[in-house]
């Protein structure tokens, strides 16, 4: 699925001017892959819902992934299939962005303190951290534009996104769909590549979920 917002020559929608130190406001002319952009305008433009459907393939298994946002609630379901499509289990995780932090709804395997206010939330639910940061003034100022399977994303420095948490053992920057904010992949600065929790080519993104992942969960 191609969701390019820029042309081949790196020309975007002309809405804003160049800021300081090579940072451009969203969506400024001549924004290209690898450019540093202002995050606040991007986050402010996101709808309050989305649904992502895709896969992540490993040598011995495949993960079928559905991630959704419904207002302040963010959920992800990961169904693991082995060779021959043998079912290996399904994991459902969901959090809510509140006025005081990130609260787990279901699927938390961390300490009670982090389940109540998760300052270390990563992976496909990291959009909740971005949204909360925009509300409480801790959103990193900038991100880097990249292209994942034909879709424009902005990658956000992991350390800057989690200023109050311990550094990740392997720092990977979450990369979100510029149009909706959905996490589609993770960028490794050390490898200069998308790695880890990154969707394979062929994923779809829509602005509104067509079903609820939490229909069977007491909320």
pLDDT by residue for the chain (219 residues), tens digit each? Answer: 556 665 543 333 333 333 444 554 555 446 789 999 999 999 999 999 999 999 998 888 899 999 999 999 999 999 999 877 778 899 999 999 988 899 999 999 999 999 999 999 999 999 999 999 999 999 999 999 999 999 999 999 999 999 888 778 888 999 999 999 999 999 999 999 999 999 999 999 999 888 888 876 644
Element containing residue 141 per DSSP (H, E) = none
8 Å CB contact between 144 and 158: no
Spatial CB neighbours of 110, under 8 Å, sequence gap ≥ 6: 104, 118, 120
Q: Is the peptide bond before 27 cis (omega within 30 degrees of 0)?
A: yes
Q: Would residue 110 be called left, alpha or beta, if left means φ above 0 and alpha means ψ between -120 and 50 degrees?
A: beta
Return d(Cα 126, Cα 148) in angstroms, integer.
17
8 Å CB contact between 173 and 160: no
Per DSSP, what are the bridge partners of residue 37?
24, 143
8 Å CB contact between 65 and 199: yes
This prediction has a pTM of 0.86
Of 217, 121, 129, residue with least CA distance to 181: 129
């Amino acid at each position: 699925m191609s969701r390019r917002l820029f042309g081949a020559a790196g020309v975007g929608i002309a809405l804003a001017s160049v800021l300081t130190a090579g940072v451009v406001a969203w969506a400024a002319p001549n924004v290209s892959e690898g450019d540093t952009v202002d995050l606040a305008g991007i986050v402010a433009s996101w709808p309050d819902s989305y649904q992502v459907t895709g896969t992540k393939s490993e040598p011995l298994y495949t993960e079928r992934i559905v991630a959704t946002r419904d207002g302040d609630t963010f959920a992800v379901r990961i169904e693991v299939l082995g060779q021959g499509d043998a079912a290996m289990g399904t994991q459902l995780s969901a959090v809510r962005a509140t006025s005081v932090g990130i609260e787990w709804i279901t699927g938390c395997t961390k300490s009670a303190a982090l389940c109540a206010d998760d300052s270390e939330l990563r992976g496909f639910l990291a959009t909740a951290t971005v949204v909360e940061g925009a509300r409480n003034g801790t959103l990193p100022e900038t991100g880097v534009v990249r292209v994942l399977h034909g879709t424009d994303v902005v990658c956000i420095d992991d350390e800057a996104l989690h200023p109050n948490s311990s550094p990740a053992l392997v720092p990977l920057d979450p990369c979100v769909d510029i149009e909706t904010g959905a996490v589609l992949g993770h960028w490794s600065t050390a490898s200069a590549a998308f790695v880890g929790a990154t969707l394979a080519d062929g994923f779809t993104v829509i602005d509104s979920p067509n079903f609820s992942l939490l229909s069977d969960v007491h909320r």
